[in-house]
Every structure is written in structure tokens, then in C-alpha cells.
Amino acid sequence: EAGVVQSPRYKIIEKKQPVAFWCNPISGHNTLYWYLQNLGQGPELLIRYENEEAVDDSQLPKDRFSAERLKGVDSTLKIQPAELGDSAVYLCASSSPLTGATYNEQFFGPGTRLTVL
């Protein structure tokens, strides 16, 4: 079974430029998460989707960040314009209460490492 796929793995951009990250969750997983991980820190949730609905986006900086999951499968996270402080790893995870163990573990992708110059 394929895991969570993210692309690109690395991205270097100049400040004020736009950037987009893509995530394809594990097949059948209806819940998708985007996390931000700063260097040396634990991941922090940005947004959580149940199918195509964003059910928790309270931590998403909506002035510059946006996300979509139009068909309830893959998702895109966008930053426009990027700032120096956005340099971090952006992790995508997915889960499903219908598969796996009862504790509904989240499966993570390899992340996209963003560097803003």
C-alpha cells in the first residue's frame, strides 16, 4: 500500500513569491492534515479536512495561506506571498477511522522543506 505522497520534497523561493505544496493521502483515508514543522520543533496543525470540508483551520494564517481539497482526495497548500519566516517543513498526514487500529493513527508523508530567501 502506498503511503502519503508529497511533492515537491524541496523548494527554494525568494520572499514575496507564491508557492504551492501537493499531498496525496493514503487511498481511502477521508481525513487529511497539514502540519507546519519549524526546525527543532514538533509539528503544529495548520488545517484538517474531513473529506472536502475544512473542519479545523483555526491555526491557518489566512492572510497568506490557503488550502483546498476539492474532490476529497488530494490537497494543495498555498502560500502567497511567502515570507522569510515561512521557511519550514510542511507535513501532510492522513487517517481513517475505518481502517487500521481503533486509535486512528495518522500516517505522515515525507514533507516538503521550504526555504525562503
Partner 1 sequence: AQKITQTQPGMFVQEKEAVTLDCTYDTSDPSYGLFWYKQPSSGEMIFLIYQGSYDQQNATEGRYSLNFQKARKSANLVISASQLGDSAMYFCAMRESGGTSYGKLTFGQGTILTVHP
Binding interface with partner 1 (CB under 8 A):
31, 33, 40-45, 48, 55-56, 58, 89, 91, 93, 95, 101, 103-111, 113
Q: How far is the CB of 81 from partner 1 (least distance, A)?
A: 25
Nearer to partner 1 by C-beta: 81 or 110? 110
Nearer to partner 1 by C-beta: 72 or 110? 110
Q: How far is the CB of 57 from partner 1 (least distance, A)?
A: 10
Residues 6+ apart with CB under 8 A from 59: 44, 45, 46, 47
Nearer to partner 1 by C-beta: 25 or 109? 109
Strand residues in the chain grouped as ranges (E): 5-7, 10-13, 19-24, 31-37, 44-50, 53-56, 65-68, 75-79, 88-95, 107-108, 112-116
Q: How far is the CB of 80 from partner 1 (least distance, A)?
A: 24
Residue type, 5: V
